[in-house]
A and B are shown apart, each in its own frame.
Chain A
Amino acid sequence: MKPLSRICLGLAIFLAVTGTVYGLTSHEPAGTMLLLVAALTFLFLFLVFRSAAQRSPEEEPEEEELEIGPTIWPFGFALSGAVIAIGVIVADWIVVVGVLGFAVCAWGWLREVTRSHAAHD
């Protein structure tokens, strides 16, 4: 976790500097905002990873990890999201189809994860 947190901090600093310089020189809000939010996001990740690294003992034995196999549900999830987005532009009934797909995929994905957890326990 320590190297990961350092990478995130480095990226946060780099993006903050880049965003500031870009904002001051271009006066363009979209890019400036995206760069600065990316900096904040990496700062958030740095803080999370650093606190995890501080909690972890130096030589902790590896714990048995829960393995979740490959699953189609995230793909369905993304597809439903795209259908909703298209529906907003094209027609309301497509949004309904997307929302239904979204709900089904959420339910399916949750069920698969719950089953994996139950099998692991």
Chain B
Amino acid sequence: MSAVATPERKAKPELSGPVLGMVLFVASEAMFFAAFFAAFFTIKDNEPVWPPPGIHLEDKVATILTVILIVSSVTVQIALRSMRSGASRRAKIWLGVTIALGITFLALQLYDYSQLGFGLRDGPFGTLFYVMTGLHMAHVFGGVVFLALVFSQVLRGRLSSEHHDPMSAGAIYWDFVDVVWICLFIVFYILTPR
């Protein structure tokens, strides 16, 4: 382990491959979700009543889901900062907390689905709701798997304060997933009249 590295030497010259790849992936995913939001607003404008009669969204569970994801964004950043400062044990703990929060989110969203009084085939609102939140859920699942892989690398001691690109990439992805959920929450639970 070298302890004589100057700040200039320690600083990475450019964006690393995994981080650059993740940044570009997130940019493309943003446009992917934007297309669904665009479809949502277009369909909403063409419907005489929105949401259709009989469809009611309860925001209690969704609010808890939002809090969980926001907290998990904070914990993943703490994990990343801990890893950057060389505190790998602390990084391990916070990354574990983030994964646990992600799994809680998935379980709670499945529970929320089971409580809804409408399905995927119940008109445009139902289809849009399940497709958009379902796609987001798939992204959360992917994020949990990604973070679990990073966690296994941390456990095996393969990440350090100098080499932590997989964790940086995972944190970018997780923050993106959080931002998308906040947009979904605003669209379905705040902007949609109840």
Q: Which residues of A contact B (CB under 8 A)?
A: 1, 28-31, 33-34, 37-38, 40-42, 44-45, 48-49, 52, 55-57, 60, 63, 65-66, 88, 110
Contact = CB atoms under 8 A, between A and B. Distances in A.
Interface of chain B, helix or strand or loop or mixed? helix
Nearest to B134: A88
Interface in B21-77: 23-24, 26-27, 30-31, 34-35, 37-39, 41-42, 45
Interface of chain A, helix or strand or loop or mixed? helix
Interface centre among B8, B15, B31, B41, by most A CB within 10 Å?
B15
A4 B38 CA distance: 28
Contacts of B35: 34
Interface residues of B, number: 23
Contacts of B30: 37, 40-41, 44
A21 B124 CA distance: 29
B117 interface: no
Nearest to A55: B11
Interface in B77-105: none
A34 B39 CA distance: 10
A65 B8 CA distance: 19
B9 to A, nearest CB: 9
B156 interface: no
Contact of A56 (B12, B23, B31): B12
B157 interface: no
Given A48-B23, A55-B13, 19 more contacts: A1-B14, A33-B34, A33-B38, A33-B41, A34-B34, A37-B34, A38-B31, A40-B30, A41-B30, A42-B27, A44-B23, A44-B27, A48-B15, A55-B11, A55-B12, A57-B8, A57-B11, A65-B17, A66-B17
A104 to B, nearest CB: 14
Contact of B31 (A31, A41, A48, A49): A41
